[in-house]
Amino acid sequence: MTPPIVLLVNPAAGRGRAARVARAAAEALQKAGLRVERHETRARGDEARIAAEASANGALALAVVGGDGAISHAVRGLLDGEARGGARVPLAIFAAGTGNDFAKSLAVPVHHVERMASHVASGATQQVDVGFVNDVPFVNAAGFGFDVEVLERMRTPGLLRGTAAYVSTALGALFGYRGFHADQASDSAMMSRQLMMVFANGRRFGGAFRIAPDARLDDGALDCVTIHDVARWARVPLFARAIRGTHLSSPHVSCHRDRHFQVRFETPPMFETDGELQQAATCDVSVSVRAGALTVIA
């Protein structure tokens, strides 16, 4: 019997939209002649567990219905399953989140259920890179500084959701955020004050920002975009340029592409990977990329 497509659904994603997309995705996959096993997440960690089981059981593909968070957790499970001797299972995305930043860097119709199901049935795949902050993987981007401040502020519920909430919260935090000291150097005396440091695998970030417009998912490298501290009155136009993707020409922004980065902070930093907050254990943080570590439906 042909292995099934494991349909992984985060029903809470997109304020319930994922549940509707999942029904349509299951129907489209079945019409394409594929056998579907549907699994819903009910608790934190379910995505990784279900993905690891899909790898262990040799699923034909793992189709995630959700947003960046669900995708990131699923990828962790796929990597863990493969490391434990399971199969490398291709990842398919039926976008149903709010930002869907990773999906925007893929040349597949993740928002069109029937066309995406056709791609899954065709079996065409592509190898893409996976980034790591120490041992924490990410598929789209990892960030330090301002984006962490925004995510911490978003823990307090407001009227807005998704991209609108992120942009609104970011604007509110622009004038109050004090920045942080860090440098990609071993001498702490060389540390400079920065607003944000993003290690990008994909091009989009925060739903609206083209943070690394030249980044590629399959080049075996990460784009490190650093926004240095500027006067408070200059922050709004600088971040507005980041929405358009024209910020890299600013003298207050630097971009460096590499396979490995070593960053030292004054204190063990908070950071985020694909929108999930994390805490580093030490002041020294390693950021690296594993080329071609993930197979996606192309």
Along the 298 residues of the chain, how does pLDDT read in single tens digits?
789 999 999 777 766 788 899 999 999 999 999 999 999 998 888 999 999 999 999 999 999 998 888 999 999 999 999 999 999 999 999 988 777 889 888 878 888 999 999 999 999 999 999 999 999 999 999 999 998 988 888 776 655 555 666 677 777 788 888 999 998 864 445 678 999 999 999 999 877 889 999 999 999 999 999 999 999 889 989 988 999 999 999 999 999 999 999 999 999 999 999 989 999 999 999 999 999 999 999 8
Residue type, 48: A
- List the one residue out of 1, 4, 18, 3 whose CA is nearest residue 71: 18
- List the one residue out of 56, 79, 71, 48 whose CA is nearest residue 290: 79
Residue 116 and residue 84 in contact, taking contact as beta carbons nearer than 8 Å: no
Architecture of the domain delimited by 138-292: Sandwich (2.60)
pLDDT at 163: 63
Burial of 156 (0-12, 13-18, 19+ CB in 10 A): exposed
Residue 75 and residue 91 in contact, taking contact as beta carbons nearer than 8 Å: yes
Residue 282 pairs with which residues in a beta bridge? none
Delimit the domains of the chain by residue range.
5-123, 138-292
pLDDT at 1: 72
pLDDT at 225: 97
pLDDT at 156: 67
- Radius of gyration from C-alpha coordinates of the chain: 19
pLDDT at 77: 98
Superfamily of domain 5-123: Probable inorganic polyphosphate/atp-NAD kinase; domain 1 (3.40.50.10330)
Q: Please give the Cα distance from 140 to 203 (Å, whole number).
A: 8
pLDDT at 54: 98
Torsion, Cα 87 90 92 97, to 10 degrees, reads 60
Question: How many CB atoms are located within 10 Å of the residue 124 CB?
Answer: 11
Q: Please give the Cα distance from 32 to 112 (Å, whole number).
A: 14
